[in-house]
């Protein structure tokens, strides 16, 4: 079978693909028959494989995704074409949950803003920065109580936080309070943490109405996909002071971030680094290679979606 790398991947994984499987990289432009023999595509959640590319890869039988999110791959079209799809779940849950908790602490306590206050020389010139908000004991709403959401809840339970959540269906195996809608959840918490999967079914799930329910004393933390939040409504709410603050690791048009957010001390911005540790990225790469080895051996995947 012939392996194709679609889009950039971490250098060590690209090197392994080339060395172990003689994988080629997809160029920006290619002729219609240049990759007729490709049976496996290895990509990432940032790039994916859309329907147009599938059509140009007639022998494609598997798409192996580096990352838990795969909304950039047309999974429905893949299913119609008999193309198997995998991702890298579980191995990044801890790091993404750590990032969510870190952003929550940072934006509520104003740590990054305080750091800038010191670096600018404002402490001796203007005194202490404004008082922040307490994290311990806060009312926390988790939108999407899957693997990552549960890991966030476990961590914040240790802070004595009051946890509630919203899923498409209520879970019977957790002690946390269920909210029947996203708006209901947002209206009952101090901070709303978004951990749902991306895709058309969750696009703008955090709407202007949800942000209004969260209100001027509420905080939003997003470690999901930028598409889940109505970014225009979010920027407007933050600029107008209708939201207390936001900790954002993902954005609608990455790597581009709305410039209006740059000057707001009440916003913490990180470049989609939720899984960005040496240990987790290596575990993700290992799982990609395990999926590839399994598919080349018997046509099945370790972690099919």
Q: Which residues are catalytically annotated?
A: 225, 254, 272
Q: What is the per-residue DSSP string for 95-160?
A: HHHHHHHHHHHHHHHTHHHHHHHHHTTHHHHH-SPPP----TT-EEEEE--SHHHHHHHHHHHTTT
* Residue whose C-alpha is closest to residue 6's, from 91, 80, 96, 85: 85
43 φ, ψ (degrees, to nearest 5)? -140, -170
CA distance 235 to 212: 12
Question: Alpha carbon 143 to chain centroid distance?
Answer: 13
CA distance 5 to 12: 13
CA distance 236 to 243: 9
3-state secondary structure of 300: coil
* Residue whose C-alpha is closest to residue 170's, from 156, 160, 161, 181: 181
Q: What is the DSSP letter of 42?
A: E
| Residue in the structure block whose two tokens are 């039988």 | 61
């Amino acid at each position: 079978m012939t392996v194709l790398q679609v889009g950039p991947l971490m250098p060590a994984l690209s090197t392994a693909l080339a060395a172990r499987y003689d994988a080629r990289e997809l160029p920006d432009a290619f002729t219609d028959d240049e990759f007729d023999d490709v049976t496996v595509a290895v990509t990432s959640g940032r790039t994916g494989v859309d329907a147009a590319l599938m059509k140009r890869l007639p022998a494609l039988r598997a798409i192996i995704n580096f990352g838990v999110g795969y909304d950039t791959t047309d999974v429905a079209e893949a299913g119609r074409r008999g193309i198997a799809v995998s991702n890298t779940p579980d191995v990044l849950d801890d790091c993404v949950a750590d990032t969510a908790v870190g952003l929550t602490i940072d934006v509520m306590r104003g740590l990054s803003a305080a750091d800038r206050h010191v670096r600018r020389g404002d402490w001796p010139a203007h005194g202490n920065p404004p008082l922040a908000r307490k994290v311990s004991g806060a009312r926390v709403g988790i939108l999407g109580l899957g693997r990552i959401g549960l890991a966030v809840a476990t961590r914040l339970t240790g802070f004595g936080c009051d946890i509630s959540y919203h899923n498409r269906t209520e879970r019977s195996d957790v002690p946390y309070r269920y909210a029947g809608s996203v708006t209901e959840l947002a209206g009952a918490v101090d901070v709303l943490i978004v951990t749902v999967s991306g895709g058309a079914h969750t696009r703008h799930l955090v709407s202007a109405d949800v942000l209004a329910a969260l209100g001027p004393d509420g905080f939003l933390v997003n470690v999901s996909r930028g598409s889940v939040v109505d970014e225009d409504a979010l920027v407007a709410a933050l600029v107008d002071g209708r939201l207390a603050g936001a900790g954002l690791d993902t954005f609608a048009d990455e790597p581009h971030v709305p410039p209006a957010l740059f000057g707001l001390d009440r916003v913490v911005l990180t470049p989609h680094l939720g899984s960005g540790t040496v240990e987790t990225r290596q575990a993700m790469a290992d799982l990609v290679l395990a999926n590839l080895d399994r598919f080349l051996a018997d046509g099945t995947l370790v972690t099919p979606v």
